[in-house]
């Protein structure tokens, strides 16, 4: 048996290729939309991908199930658990098997057994893996999807927070409590292979270690400390990270079936003149560095450095409007792959960042200032200070004069901002606040300053921090 691990750090998404070398067949578990890494790995190992399996309808990325079915004829194995509203609506077009508790499927000498593990979502299932080719009669591990992570478990509130299914969070939490009781009955020796790692918004406090064991999680995972259902529900629904608004889009896309994108996308290059002729409200995404953007950019453009496209694109990009990229031509295909991983498919074209710089279109800029340069103005109230960090970071500690307006919802939360004085934008290090500065300028608030180094530099300069931990390492 062959087991290969794939990890997309931008999405904090883990997926797996399981192969039977005796028959030359392979299955991909919880595939991402970019299937090229799976195809390449299978070719190197002399395997053919004949199947793809998914633990649930994912909300944080576009699934690669349909892509594999369309391009290589993979048979699809998907959940038939949960309510009618959360059934896969496209799988009838392809060879498939709907899975419920106790179902089995396999490739070659490898067998998968299905456990229903609702809670993160109603249709969530897990797969026990048995290598019968090696003579085993019991499972060696479990693919848990977004059910149990290393050091955490899947959050049950996404349907309510992102998709607007009122009342589903507590129902999901109680389902999750019952699923964990079943999990506790599994053998300790089982290896545990989750679908996410540290940085995912599908849970809180996920570990950065790629795998674990059932026994280790029983002993040290914080979620297993709660033996009373009410206490568990309170624990799991508290202090969850903000649910990105694009999660609702992903749930719908993965339910009805993503569009087929094919191999690495080719994005057409458009002229500087074409960009110049776009209407003022056109959606121009500048993928250069924050420093380059601050020094000069097209008025009304949105800063999304390449490393931030996935993390913040789903929050800030309008999925219904075409996107024009300002980018390095050598990086455009990779940027498009990242955008398409979260369903941003409507990329109308790109223009070379160097050509834009030479054209003179970069007429807008914003200042970058150190804490020492703006501390007195902040203290005197002669500037407005906006903290764009998450709620949990804000609660840990913040600059006393700051207004909290989370970056992901900043564009919809500008009412009451005093535009008659400069606006200083601040985060932990200065990266998110640079994006926030572009959001403000796009909304017409032009006199913007990015706080260099963020609250970390503020604290290191010995300046006062209020909030929950004025003496601690607030906001880090």
Q: What is the per-residue DSSP string for 348-397?
A: EEEEEHHHHHHHT---B--EEE-HHHHHHHHHHTSSEEEE-S-HHHHHH-
Task: Write out pLDDT tens, residues 179-204.
Answer: 999 999 999 999 999 999 998 989 99
C-alpha 173/C-alpha 335 separation (Å) is: 36
Q: For all residues of the chain together, what is the average pLDDT?
A: 94
Q: Count of residues for the chain?
A: 476
Task: Give the helix, strand, coil percentages of the chain, each rounded to 5.
Answer: 35, 25, 45
Residue 114: pLDDT over 70: yes
Residue 472: pLDDT over 50: no
Average pLDDT over residues 320-324: 96
C-alpha 206/C-alpha 197 separation (Å) is: 6
Task: Write out pLDDT tens, residues 65-81.
Answer: 999 999 999 999 999 99
Rg of the chain over all Cα atoms, to the nearest angstrom:
24
Question: 451: which strand partners?
Answer: 369
Residue 476: pLDDT over 70: no
pTM, full prediction:
0.91
Residue 475: pLDDT over 70: no
pLDDT for 246: 86
Contacts of residue 382, defined as CB under 8 A and 6 or more positions apart, other chains included, come to 421, 422
| CATH numbers and ranges of domains, the chain | 2-256 (3.60.15.10), 272-359 (3.40.250.10), 367-460 (3.40.250.10)
């Amino acid at each position: 048996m062959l087991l290969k691990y794939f990890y997309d750090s931008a999405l904090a998404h883990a997926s797996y290729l399981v192969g039977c070398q005796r028959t030359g067949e392979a299955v991909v578990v919880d595939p991402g939309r970019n299937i090229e890494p799976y195809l390449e790995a299978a070719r190197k190992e002399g395997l053919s991908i004949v199947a793809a399996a998914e633990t649930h309808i994912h909300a944080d990325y576009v699934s690669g199930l349909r892509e594999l079915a369309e391009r290589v004829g993979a048979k699809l194995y998907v959940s038939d658990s949960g309510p009618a509203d959360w059934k896969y609506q496209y799988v009838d077009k392809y060879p498939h098997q709907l899975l419920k508790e106790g179902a089995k499927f396999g490739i070659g000498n490898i067998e998968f057994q299905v456990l229903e593990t609702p809670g993160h979502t109603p249709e969530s299932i897990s797969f026990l893996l048995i290598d019968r080719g090696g003579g085993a009669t019991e499972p060696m591990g479990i693919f848990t999807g977004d059910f149990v992570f290393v050091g955490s478990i899947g959050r049950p509130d996404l349907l309510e927070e992102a998709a607007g299914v009122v009342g589903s969070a507590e129902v999901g939490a109680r389902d999750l409590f019952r699923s964990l009781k079943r999990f506790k009955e599994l053998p300790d020796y089982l290896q545990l292979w989750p679908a996410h790692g540290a940085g995912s918004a599908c849970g809180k406090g996920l570990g950065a270690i790629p795998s674990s064991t059932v026994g280790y999680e029983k002993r040290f995972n914080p979620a297993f400390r709660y033996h009373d259902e009410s206490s568990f529900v309170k624990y799991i629904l508290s202090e969850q990270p903000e649910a990105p608004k694009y999660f609702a889009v992903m749930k719908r896309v993965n339910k009805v079936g993503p569009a087929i994108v094919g191999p690495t996308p080719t994005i057409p290059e458009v002229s500087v003149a074409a960009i110049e002729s776009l209407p003022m409200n056109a959606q121009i995404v500048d993928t250069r560095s924050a420093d380059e953007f601050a020094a000069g950019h097209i008025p009304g453009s949105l800063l999304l450095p390449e490393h931030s496209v996935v993390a913040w694109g789903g929050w800030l990009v309008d999925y219904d409007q075409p996107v024009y990229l300002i980018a390095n031509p050598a990086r455009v295909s990779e940027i498009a792959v990242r955008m398409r991983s979260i369903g941003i498919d409507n990329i109308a074209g790109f223009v070379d960042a160097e050509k834009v710089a030479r054209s003179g279109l970069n007429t807008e800029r914003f200042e970058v200032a150190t804490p020492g340069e703006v501390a007195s103005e902040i203290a005197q109230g002669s500037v407005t200070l906006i903290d764009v960090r998450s709620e949990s970071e804000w609660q840990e500690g913040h600059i006393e004069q700051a207004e909290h307006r989370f970056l992901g919802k900043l564009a919809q939360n500008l009412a009451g901002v005093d535009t008659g004085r400069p606006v200083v934008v601040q985060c932990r290090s200065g990266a998110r606040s640079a994006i926030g500065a572009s959001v403000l300028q796009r909304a017409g608030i032009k006199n913007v300053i990015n706080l260099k180094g963020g609250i970390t530099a503020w604290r290191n300069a010995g300046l006062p921090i209020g909030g929950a931990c004025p003496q601690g390492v607030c906001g880090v």
